[in-house]
Amino acid sequence: MSHKNHKKVVLFASGSGSNVQKICEYFQNHSTIKVVRLYCNNPKALVLEKAKAFEIDYTLFTKKELLDSDVLLKELVNVDPDLIVLTGFLLKIPKKITKKFYNKIINIHPALLPKFGGKGMYGMNIHDAVISKKESKTGISIHYVNEKYDDGVNIFQKEISVKKSDTSGTLSRRVLKLEHEYFSKTIEKILNLGK
């Protein structure tokens, strides 16, 4: 099957990659969208095994390579993705990449931005903050990426109620379910709109 007419998605991840798994499953036999490469800054990340399982090539890089050199930028230009998707990627994308791929990089954030965004707001830190601030709602935000953390325009949000009995653990599991349910569909929608 030729991928010439496929829209190309590349994924950036740092961790276990449960979203990578779901995205790869969703687009595995998709007629118009293909995941073509994974970029990872952590050689021990479980996500690498997931990429291998789906026969997706990956590039490992260091923080220095991301920030200081043009190697990664050149490779991305060469791959020419229609969309770059951050799936649990913890480093900030440098300006030279966000400029080159303007409105072509999206991220998922496990909170309702602009609340609980910014530096240090990732993983359990977010759910701990939501609970300690006694928020009544939380959820997910899928947004465009610019050179500031969690600052780009929101594309999609889905909220759930925070229960009195919630811990950061139960909350994170319910929020992750939303991520798995809506992330791939949103990627599909963006690419089908041809933006």
Q: Is the pLDDT of residue 1 over 50?
A: no
- For 151-179, the pLDDT digits (tens) are 899 999 999 999 999 999 999 999 999 99
Instruction: Please state, as a whole number, how many other Cβ atoms lie within 10 Å of the Cβ of residue 7.
Output: 20
What is the average per-residue pLDDT within 37-60? 96
Catalytic residue among 3, 6, 30, 109: 109
What is the average per-residue pLDDT within 33-59? 96
pTM above 0.85, yes or no: yes
Task: Give the single-character DSSP code of 119.
Answer: T
Task: Give the single-character DSSP code of 21.
Answer: H
Is 109 a known active-site residue? Answer: yes
| pLDDT of the residue at 195 | 44
Question: How confident is the prediction for the chain on average, in pLDDT?
Answer: 93
| pLDDT of the residue at 122 | 86
Which residue matches tokens 């929608």? 189
Which residue matches tokens 């951050």? 86
CB 37 within 8 Å of CB 79: yes
| pLDDT of the residue at 194 | 58
Q: So where are the chain's domains? A: 7-109+144-157+182-192
Q: Residue 153: phi, psi to the nearest 5?
A: -65, 135
| pLDDT of the residue at 151 | 86
| pLDDT of the residue at 3 | 54
The topology (CATH level 3) of 7-109+144-157+182-192 is: Rossmann fold (3.40.50)
d(CA 156, CA 159): 10
